[in-house]
Amino acid sequence: MPRAGWVKPHSDQRLSDHISIGLLTRSYPPELVDRVLAEQGRTERRKRLLPARVMVYYAMALALFSEGSYEEVMRNLVEGLDWQSGWQRPWRVPSQVAITKARSRLGSEPVRALYERVARPLARSQSKGAFLGDLRLMAVDGTTFDLADTPANEAAFGRPGSGRGEGRAAYPQLRAVGLAECGTHAILDVALGPIKRGEGSLAAQLWGSLEPGMLALADRGFWDFKAFKAAKASGAELLWRVPKNLNLAVCEALEDGSYRSRIYASADRKHVEPIEVRVVEYELDDPALGSERYRLATTLLDPGAASATELAAAYPQRWEFETVLDELKTHQRGPRLVLRSRTPEGVRQEVYGYLLTHYAIRALMHEVAIDVGRDPDRLSFTRSLRVVRRSARAGPGFSPHSA
């Protein structure tokens, strides 16, 4: 149906050239997508009904309309554009088979490359809740995704055991470990692997994304001397919870209640290559769970840079990652939904589509928060998601073949 204000063009055009995802194209303009496709060798010599550029945006649309069928997702993208585009012949939504083949031609690497090109810290100096002093708060955490129950997915990612007596879970699972900006909830990097690969092993792929000016927070599940050393080598400052049984001798007691200590690799029996750390210990009382003692090791050796109290108050920001996962897996994907892709390559493409969409929504929310002077945490992710979904249906199209 035509809408008020639309003007029907004179020339006939390919409707697939006008697929749009509204506000998301602000974060991923067509020119950038084309450059990434060219770098990945996905530039096409002949026109297709579903060219590579369209399928990159379609990967994001799958994340926006996660409960719709392949055809319904495509229908959401082209809703009403037959009138706007001046169609001389009716355009039919491609079949699921055609869409599946187009997704397969694209693969996951261009979608991953686009995410890696764009995903950068969002917080600015005026962003509320994003910094401790001058240090940008970052967090590392992991999660899993249930996958379509196919032999290919099980072979690539594995299937966890089950505690119900069957011996194995109902679905294959992928493990993901991410690095997120606490103040904006933007996921800046992610490592994907089979379910049997540990979070610590995957996290090793993320340390290169840390940089000076960051304060990286991690739970004791990620603790390992080698990991701590690798993360420290990035130039970022670290604030990690350490296991209770880790031997941390008091080398120097400090006025703020913290103390300096040294950590060593387990193979360094003569203690010749220590890492200097500062340790903060405190206890929290929870009426429901009881008291729990925390020990944090940090590379911030000078209490003048951040006191023990400030560090203890900053560490709970790590749990912002739980909210990030809730946004990604519950609100954006839908509770208890299984990823739809039936092949490992499709799974990776689908996950990066989710990450691209989440990052774009969070970038939009941060922009709004800056404009109104509010903390991004106080804005509703669900409402923002609805806005982006509406924009996908109503936004103007673009040509994937134009420069």
Q: What's the confidence (pLDDT) of residue 164?
A: 58
Task: Name 257's Cβ contacts closer than 8 Å, sequence gap at least 6.
Answer: 280, 281, 308
Q: Where are the alpha helices (DSSP H) in 170-278?
A: 199-203, 225-232
Residue 196 in any domain: the answer is yes
| N- to C-terminal Cα separation, the chain | 30
Q: What's the confidence (pLDDT) of residue 88?
A: 47
Residue 345 in any domain: the answer is no
Cα gap 22→385, rounded to integer Å:
12
Cα gap 197→195, rounded to integer Å:
5
CB contact burial 198-222 (16+ within 10 A = b; e otherwise):
ebbebbbebbebbeeebbbbbbeeb
Residue 372 in any domain: the answer is no
Residue 347 in any domain: the answer is no
Are residues 213 and 317 part of one domain? yes
Are residues 308 and 282 part of one domain? yes
Show which of 286, 310, 327 is a domain's final residue: 327
Q: What's the confidence (pLDDT) of residue 91?
A: 58
DSSP helix, strand, coil percent of the chain (3-state; round to 5): 40, 20, 40
Backbone phi, psi, residue 338, to 5°: -95, 135
Residue type, 8: K
Q: Where are the alpha helices (DSSP H) in 137-278?
A: 151-157, 199-203, 225-232
Are residues 106 and 138 part of one domain? no
Cα gap 210→207, rounded to integer Å:
5
Residue type, 73: V
Are residues 142 and 109 part of one domain? no
Q: What is the pLDDT of residues 66-88, one digit of tens each?
A: 888 999 988 877 664 444 444 44
Question: β-pairing, 237-241 with 214-218?
Answer: parallel
Are residues 289 and 180 part of one domain? yes
Residue 376 in any domain: the answer is no
Q: What's the confidence (pLDDT) of residue 376?
A: 87
Are residues 168 and 38 part of one domain? no
Are residues 323 and 215 part of one domain? yes
Closest to 318 in 3D by CA, of 127, 144, 181: 181
Residue 361 in any domain: the answer is no
Residue 354 in any domain: the answer is no
Closest to 225 in 3D by CA, of 189, 188, 268, 193: 268
Are residues 284 and 186 part of one domain? yes
Residue 382 in any domain: the answer is no
Cα gap 33→53, rounded to integer Å:
7
Are residues 163 and 85 part of one domain? no
When divided into structural domains, the chain yields a total of: 2
Structural domain boundaries, residue 77: 15-116+387-394
Show which of 327, 347, 371 is a domain's final residue: 327
Are residues 176 and 64 part of one domain? no
Q: What is the pLDDT of residues 131-142, one digit of tens each?
A: 999 999 999 999
Are residues 147 and 48 part of one domain? no
Whether the pTM exceeds 0.85: the reply is yes
Cα gap 96→102, rounded to integer Å:
10
Beta bridge partners of 214: 136
> pLDDT of the chain along its 403 residues, tens only?
344 444 444 444 444 444 556 777 888 998 999 999 999 998 876 567 788 988 999 999 999 898 889 999 888 776 644 444 444 455 577 889 999 999 999 999 999 999 999 999 999 998 988 999 999 999 999 999 999 999 999 999 999 986 555 667 889 999 999 999 999 999 999 999 999 999 999 999 999 999 999 999 999 999 999 999 999 999 999 999 999 899 999 999 999 999 999 999 988 887 888 999 999 999 988 777 678 899 999 999 999 999 999 999 999 999 999 999 999 998 888 887 899 999 999 999 999 999 999 999 999 999 999 988 888 888 899 998 888 888 776 654 544 344 3
Are residues 106 and 255 part of one domain? no
Q: Where are the alpha helices (DSSP H) in 85-218?
A: 96-106, 109-118, 151-157, 199-203
Show which of 275, 307, 327 is a domain's final residue: 327
